[in-house]
Amino acid sequence: MWRFALWEGGRFALGLFGAALLAAGISALSVAGGQGGGRAFLSAMAGRLLAFLRLDFGTGAGGQDVLHELVARSPTTLALVLLGAVIAFLFGVPLGLLLSGGPLRRAAAPLIQIVAAAPVFCAGLALALIAQRLFHRPAGGATALLLAALTVGLAGAAAVQLALRRAAAEIQYAPFRLGLRQLGLPAPEIDRVYVAPLVFAGAFRGLGDVMLALLSATLVAEGIFKCPGLADLFLTSVALRDWNAAALVLFAFAGAALLADFAGRLGAQTIAAR
């Protein structure tokens, strides 16, 4: 277990370093400004990377400290991601288990593919329309935050059920199931004692994909419902070519996804080991 944890810790650190390189490259655009060619850009990128190590993330287009701006915008995004995660697991886990096998899975497969292929902004626009037409509530204030969280949660639920269905499909025809049946164990006991932990372990490995789905949906939801969070800061920064702010937000999002993937892999290994 310790060897596995060290290996995954190394992967996490390498991924975080890659995200820092990408962020430094984006931030260097504000220093080099496209002037001086590749050598000037690489020099600026190295300077920004060293500045990151000193927790100096530079200033934004308006002269404000981008780290302070990120901290100020974080509560809205954290609320959306946390509420979205709760909604995702409340709906995604039962749906994933329900559709993991049997005739229901085969019958629902076309509908699942259509829903999964629909862009997340369709869900956001549909929720905004429902709020306005049925409940006569404008998509603003607390209503906007709730609708944005529902949008994020729906995207997360799709990722959660997909991770569970994939894990169940991988274990469905595992040789040990036939061996246990030949030993006389009933199928419900095999599924409860041996299969279920492995399915949840496999689903845990997809925790990074779930976090990516939540963060991607947050980008869309904050734009649709005008929530002043990190995703809104990122989109505004890109539009204004405020590369320091855009780089920091991108690094924060990448770090969150990498951390979720690291935690998910450790959790999966812990469950499987038992």
**Which pTM value belongs to this model?**
0.76
The answer to whether the CB of 169 falls within 8 A of the CB of 231 is no
The answer to whether the CB of 256 falls within 8 A of the CB of 197 is no
DSSP secondary structure code for residue 101 in this structure: S
DSSP secondary structure code for residue 62 in this structure: T
Structure tokens at 2: 């310790």
Q: Which tens digits make up the pLDDT trace of 133-153?
A: 444 455 556 777 787 888 888
Q: Which tens digits make up the pLDDT trace of 148-158?
A: 888 888 888 88
Residues of the chain below pLDDT 50: 120-121, 132-136
Dihedral sign computed on CA atoms, order 153, 125, 162, 8? negative
Q: Which tens digits make up the pLDDT trace of 208-253?
A: 888 888 888 888 788 777 788 888 888 888 888 888 888 889 899 9
Exposure of 231 in the CB half-sphere (CA atoms within 13 A): 23
Fold of 74-273: MetI-like fold (1.10.3720)
> To 5 degrees, how large is the angle CA 139–CA 69–CA 120?
40
Burial tier of 107 (Cβ tally within 10 Å: 0-12, 13-18, 19+): exposed
Partners of 65 in the beta sheet? 59
What stretches of 33-118 show up as alpha helix (H) in DSSP?
A: 37-53, 66-98, 102-117
pLDDT at site 121? 45
What distance in Å separates the CA atoms of residue 23 and residue 51, rounded to the nearest whole number?
A: 12
Partners of 59 in the beta sheet? 65
What distance in Å separates the CA atoms of residue 262 and residue 260, rounded to the nearest whole number?
A: 5
